[in-house]
Amino acid sequence: MDLRELEAFQAVVEAGGVGRAARRLHRAQSSITARIRQLQASLGVALFERDGRALRLTAAGDVLLDYTGRLLGLAEEARAAVRQ
């Protein structure tokens, strides 16, 4: 699990889909999909489930979302502290 995977995960959740997340992050949709697959593989759980064309968080995805916000916030805090 790395920060880029977590950023992609958070963007997909916030944007409501892979395509919108890719546009938001200025990356190819296939890149975002690959990051999500890598994250799911490293954790050994599904984070999303399909609901028709929409993606819905699984219970594991919901748990990870809380940690993702904290981890990304802490990473930004560390970047800021080092720059000072």
Q: Which residues of the chain have pLDDT under 70?
A: none
Q: Please name which of 59, 44, 52, 55 lies closest in space to residue 21, comparing C-alpha atoms.
A: 55
Q: Tell me, what's the pLDDT at 64?
A: 98
Q: Are strands 54-57 and 48-51 parallel, antiparallel or unpaired?
A: antiparallel
Q: Tell me, what's the pLDDT at 54?
A: 83
Q: What are phi and psi of 52, to 5 degrees?
A: 70, -120
Q: What are phi and psi of 45, to 5 degrees?
A: -140, 155
- Ramachandran sector of residue 16 (left: φ over 0; alpha: ψ -120 to 50; beta: rest): left
Q: Tell me, what's the pLDDT at 51?
A: 84
Q: What is the CATH number of domain 3-83?
A: 1.10.10.10
Please report, to the nearest 10 degrees, the dihedral formed by the alpha carbons of residues 36, 41, 42, 44 taken in order: 120
**Residue ranges covered by each domain of the chain:** 3-83
Q: Tell me, what's the pLDDT at 32?
A: 97
Q: Tell me, what's the pLDDT at 53?
A: 81
